[in-house]
Amino acid sequence: MAQVRVIAAVFACLVVALVLPNLALRRMPSLWTWLQTADDGSDLAVLGALRSTDPADVDIVVLGSSLAVVDVSAVMIKRETGLSVLNAGVLAMPPIASSMYLDDALSLHPSTVIVVTGHRAFGDSELPSASPFDWRIAASAFPVSAWMRSDVLSAALADVSDAYRLRDVPRLAWDGSLAEWKGRASNLHRAEDDRFAVLAARPEWSAASTPTVVDGAASRAVGALIDRCTAEGVSVLLVAAPVHSELLGTPDVWFHPPHVAEMRRVAEKHGASVLVLDQPGLWRDSDFRDPLHLAPSGQRRFTQAVAAELR
Amino acid sequence: MLFNSLPFALLAAPTVVLGMVLRGRPRTWILLLASWAFYAGGQPKWLLLLWFSTILDYLIGRALDTTPDEQAGKRKLLLAASVIGNLGILFAYKYLPFVLSLVGLGGFVPAAYEGGFHFLGGVPAGLSFYTFQTLSYTIDVYRRKQSAIRNPVEFALFVAFFPQLIAGPVVRAAEFFPQLYNPKPTTEARLWRAIELFAVGLFKKVVVADNLGLLGDPLWSSPDTQSGPTLVIGALIFWGQIYADFSAYSTMARGLGTAFGFDLPRNFNFPLLADGPLAYRRSWHMTMSAWFRDYVFHPLGGSRVSAWRVAINIGIVWTLFGIWHGAGLTFLVWGLYNGVVQAGTREFYRRGYRIPDYPGKRVAGIALNLALMLPSAIVFRSASLQDALTAIWAVLTLRGGGAVDSLTLGIVAVFAAMHVASYRWYREDVLERSPWVVRLVLLTGLIWVVVFLGAKSRPFVYFQF
C-alpha cells in the first residue's frame, strides 16, 4: 500500500510539473513576441514566431509546416512592409497540417494568407478544424510507433505544449552558434552530427525515394483552402520553399519541378497568387541550415522576396 | 536505450512494479527479459554478442567449478578460454581497425568504418563493461573465491542486469548474487531513496552534463583557434561534463537497483574535489579502478615488489585503463600520463615527503590536482594527438585570442558551487527524511528543472566505451 502511495505521488508530481507551467505560459503571449525579436533567422526568433504576435491586429497569416516557421521572418516582413504578420507554421507536421489553423486564422480577419509549401507530398490531406493546441491533432498526426521515438514525441509535445517548447530557450541562448555550426567527427561528435547526414538517416526525405508530386487529394485540399479564404474575402499567396539541391540530386536546382508545376496549376485554377524564387544562382549552400530549412542568410532573401510580393 | 528517454520510462515503470510484486524465479525472469529488451532497444543485433558472452562464461564457470585443483592445466586452459573469448570480442570490435592501421594494413578495414571506432558494424554499447564483469566472474571462480552459478537464468541476469549493463558500476558476482537471492524489501523509505537517486542522476545528466557539453563543444570544435585560457576553461568544462555524465548514469543505476532491492556500489566520490592524485584515483570510476587493482595490479605483484616494479605496474594498469576507453593514441597517452602522475605521487609519499599543514591546504590541493589533470582532460577530449598537443601548447604559452563569455563562466560557477554544496551537505536521503509536502514540492521542482532546463537528449558519453 505504501508503495502505491509513493507511485501515485510521483505521478501527481509529473502532472503538476508538466501541466501547470504550460497553462501559465499559454497566458503569456508577450514572451513569445519578445523571443521573436532575436536575430532574424536565429532559433530564438523561430521559437518566437511560433506563438508570437498579438492576434488582435493581424494583416497577414503565414501557414505551413516548419518551412513556414523557419523560412519566413514575421519581424522582417513587418519591418519591410509595415504589415503585422502571424507566423502560424506548425513544426514537425506535414504542410497541410497548417490548415488546422485555418478557422483560427480566418477569425483574425487577415487581408492575406500565405501558404508556404515544400517539395514533399502533403501527407495528410484532411482539413481538420480543431485547435492546434488540441492533443487529438498530435495523436492523429503520429502513429503509435512514432510515439516511441523521443524526438518525435518532443516535436509533438513542442507543438502542443508551450511549456515544453520553452525548454529549448536556455540551450539556444547558450549555444548561439547552433545555426551555423557544422558537426565534425571526434571522440564525442560523430559523423552523423553533420547536417546532411540526416539524408542518410531519413531516406524518406530524399526526392528519389519519395513521391514528391502534390497528389490529387492534397491538391484538392489546397484548393479547398484557397476557396475557403477567397470566400471570406482573404487573398492567398502560395509560396514554394526552396530545398537544398543535394536533396533533389541535381546541382543548382532548388525546387522540385513537379511540386512547382502542380502548385501553379492549383493556384491558377482557384485564383491564388504564386511565388517561386527559382532564378538561377539565387541560392547557395550556405543559405541552408539543413537540407530543408533556410539559414539566416537564406531566410533574409526569402522573406524579402515575400515582402516585395506583398507590397 | 537511454535512461533519459520515453521508451526507457515505458520499460522501467512496469518492470519496477513487477519487481516489487514478484518474488523468486518469476522476478528473475522479469528482470532478465526487461534487461534484454533494454539492451535490444539500442541495436538488437548486439544481443547476440551479449548472449555469446553469457553462454561462454556460464559454461566455463561451471567447468572451472567442477574441475579439481589437481587438474591445474585444464583449469588454466578454461580460464584462458574465457579471457581470450571476452578480450577477443573486445579486441575485434574496438581495437582491430586501429591495430591494422598502425601496422599499415588499414586497407583491410572497410572504408565506411575507417577511424577505429567502427568495425563490424560499430561498437556494441557497454561492451567493455559487461565483458569485464563476466571476466571477473570466471577469474573469481578460478580462484575459488566464487562458486559457479548453476542457474543459467540467474547468471544471464548477472551479465545483463539493465540498471548497470551499459556503463557500470561494474558489479562482482559476490556482490550481486546474495542480493538477488535476498533482495532488500522495497519499503516506502527505499522507494523514496530510489526515486531521489534516479531523479538526481537525471538532473546531473540532462541539466549539468548536457548543458556543459553545449557550452564546451564550440570551444573544442576548433581548438587551434582558441586562446590558452579559453582552452583551460574548455578542459575544465569537459572534465565537469564527463564527470556529471558518467556519475549520472551510475547514480541512476543505483536508484534503479534500489527499486529492485539491490544496493549497487558507488562509482564516484566527488573526484573533482580530490586534493591529490591518489585521492582522485580512489574516487573516480571506483568499481573499474578496483577491477584493475584486483585483476591486473595485484597479479603483477602489486605493492609487494621493488619501487621500480611498482611504478611499472602502475604504468601498466593505467595504460590498460587508457586503452580500455577505446583504440586511439589519445587514450593511450591519457593512460600513460595518469600512470606517470600516480606513480610519481606514490613515490613522493613513499620517500617520506609530506606537505605541512597550512590554512587553505585542501583548496590548494584541489587546485593542484585539477591542474595536474588538465593535460589529461585535454588529451581525452581532443580528436587527435596533434589537436591535443596544439591545445596544450596554447595553454603553456598562454596564447592570446578570444575570451570565454561571462555567461559561460557564470553557468560553470553555478554548477561548481552546486557541486561543492552537495559535497558538504547532500546525503542522498532528502526525500526519505522529509515530510510528505516537502517531498512533493521537491520532486515537482526537480521534474520541472529537468524538463525545462535540460539540454536536448544526447547519449551518455561512456556508452561508446
Amino acid at B437: V
Residue numbers of the domain that contains B292:
189-464
Q: Tell whether B137 is covered by a domain.
A: yes
Interface with B, mutate which of A1, A5, A10, A181 (most B CBs under 10 A): A10
What does the pLDDT look like over A214-228, one tens digit per residue? 556 667 778 888 888
Q: Tell whether B1 is covered by a domain.
A: no
A245-266 core/surface letters (b: 16 or more CB in 10 A; e: else): bebbeeeebbbbeebbebbeeb
Between residues A163 and B407, which one has the greater pLDDT?
B407
CB contact under 8 A, B451 and A6: no
Strand order across the beta sheet in which A60-64 lies: A85-87, A60-64, A112-117, A235-240, A273-275
Is A45 a residue whose pLDDT tops 70? no
Q: Are residues B194 and B177 in the same domain?
A: no
Q: Are residues B162 and B242 in the same domain?
A: no
CA distance to partner chain A, nearest, from residue B348 (Å) = 34
Torsion of CA A146, A147, A151, A154, to 10 degrees: 140
Helix (H) or strand (E) holding A63, with range, is strand A60-64
Q: Are residues B195 and B178 in the same domain?
A: no
In chain A, the percentage of residues whose pLDDT exceeds 90 is: 10
What does the pLDDT look like over A51-98, one tens digit per residue? 444 556 778 888 877 788 778 888 788 888 888 887 777 655 555 555
Is A273 a residue whose pLDDT tops 90? yes
Domain boundary among B183, B202, B236: B183
Pick from B195, B455, B464: CB nearest A10: B195
Between residues B396 and A208, which one has the greater pLDDT?
B396
Q: Are residues B321 and B417 in the same domain?
A: yes
Cα Rg of chain B, angstroms: 23
* Cα B179 to Cα B21, B160, B185, B388, distances in angstroms: 16, 15, 11, 44
B452 touches A166 (CB < 8 A):
yes
Interface with A, mutate which of B2, B211, B437, B451 (most A CBs under 10 A): B451
- Grid cell 593535460 is found at B375
CB contact under 8 A, A3 and B186: yes
Pick from B381, B436, B456: CB nearest A171: B456
CA distance to partner chain B, nearest, from residue A33 (Å) = 20
CB contact under 8 A, A5 and B188: yes
What pLDDT is stored for residue B300 in this prediction?
A: 92
Q: Are residues B166 and B149 in the same domain?
A: yes
Q: What is the mean pLDDT of residues A282-296?
A: 80
Interface with B, mutate which of A14, A148, A171, A188 (most B CBs under 10 A): A188
Is the Cα dihedral B247, B251, B256, B261 positive or negative?
A: positive
pLDDT band at A180 (very low <50, low <70, confident <90, very high): very low
Q: How far apart are CA A242 and CA A67, in angstroms?
A: 9
Q: Are residues B102 and B118 in the same domain?
A: yes
CB contact under 8 A, A150 and B5: yes
Q: Are residues B204 and B308 in the same domain?
A: yes
What pLDDT is stored for residue B258 in this prediction?
A: 94
CB contact under 8 A, A167 and B330: no
Q: Considering only CB atoms, which chain A residues are within 8 Å of B454?
A: 167
pLDDT band at A38 (very low <50, low <70, confident <90, very high): low
* Mean pLDDT in consecutive groups of 10 residues from the start of chain B, 465 residues: 71 86 89 92 83 95 93 94 92 78 60 40 79 94 94 95 87 94 90 93 87 79 80 90 91 93 93 92 92 93 90 93 84 92 91 85 92 91 85 86 76 91 91 92 86 57 48
Q: Backbone dihedral region of A246: left (phi > 0), alpha (psi from -120 to 50 degrees) or beta?
A: alpha
* Chain mean pLDDT for chain A: 65
First to last CA, chain A: 69
Domain boundary among B134, B164, B183: B183
pLDDT band at A271 (very low <50, low <70, confident <90, very high): very high
CB contact under 8 A, A13 and B187: no
Query: What's the grid cell of residue B63?
Result: 567447468
What pLDDT is stored for residue A133 in this prediction?
A: 33
A78-95 core/surface letters (b: 16 or more CB in 10 A; e: else): bebbebbbbbbbbbbbbb
Q: Are residues B157 and B250 in the same domain?
A: no
Q: How far apart are CA B370 and CA B273, in angstroms?
A: 9
Pick from B10, B188, B440: CB nearest A13: B440
CB contact under 8 A, B218 and A175: yes
Torsion of CA A139, A140, A141, A142, to 10 degrees: 50
Q: Tell whether B229 is covered by a domain.
A: yes
Pick from A3, A148, A188: CB nearest B461: A188
Q: Considering only CB atoms, which chain B residues are within 8 Å of A186?
A: 220, 382-383
What pLDDT is stored for residue A65 in this prediction?
A: 73
Q: What topology is assigned to A31-132+196-310 in CATH?
A: Rossmann fold (3.40.50)
What pLDDT is stored for residue A172 in this prediction?
A: 39
Q: How far apart are CA B345 and CA B255, in angstroms?
A: 35
Q: Tell whether B413 is covered by a domain.
A: yes
What pLDDT is stored for residue A29 in this prediction?
A: 55
What pLDDT is stored for residue B168 in this prediction?
A: 74
- Catalytic residue numbers of B read 325
Backbone phi, psi, residue B238, to 5°: -65, -45
- How many C-beta atoms surround the C-beta of residue B376 within 10 A? 19
For B127, residues 6+ apart whose C-beta sits below 8 A from its C-beta are: B46, B49, B89, B90, B93, B94
Pick from A6, A16, A189: CB nearest B191: A6
CA nearest to B16 within chain A: A7
Q: What is the mean pLDDT of residues A149-167?
A: 44
Q: Are residues B324 and B458 in the same domain?
A: yes
CB contact under 8 A, B220 and A177: no
CB contact under 8 A, A6 and B192: yes
CB contact under 8 A, A167 and B451: yes
Q: Considering only CB atoms, which chain B residues are within 8 Å of A164?
A: 451
For B69, residues 6+ apart whose C-beta sits below 8 A from its C-beta are: B75, B144
Torsion of CA A290, A196, B388, B101, to 10 degrees: 180
Q: How far apart are CA B89 and CA B127, in angstroms?
A: 9
Amino acid at B136: S
Task: Work out how many CB contacts closer than 8 A connect A with B.
Answer: 95
In chain A, the percentage of residues whose pLDDT exceeds 70 is: 50
Q: Tell whether B358 is covered by a domain.
A: yes
Domain boundary among B165, B183, B201: B183
Length of chain B: 465
Indicate the number of domains in chain B. Answer: 2
What does the pLDDT look like over A93-148, one tens digit per residue? 555 555 656 776 777 788 999 988 876 644 433 333 333 333 333 333 333 333 33
CB contact under 8 A, A175 and B214: yes
Q: Considering only CB atoms, which chain A residues are within 8 Å of B184?
A: none
Interface with A, mutate which of B18, B187, B205, B217 (most A CBs under 10 A): B217
Chain A positions contacting chain B at CB under 8 Å are 2-3, 5-7, 9-10, 12-14, 16-18, 21, 147-148, 150, 153-154, 163-164, 166-168, 170-171, 173-175, 177, 181, 184-190
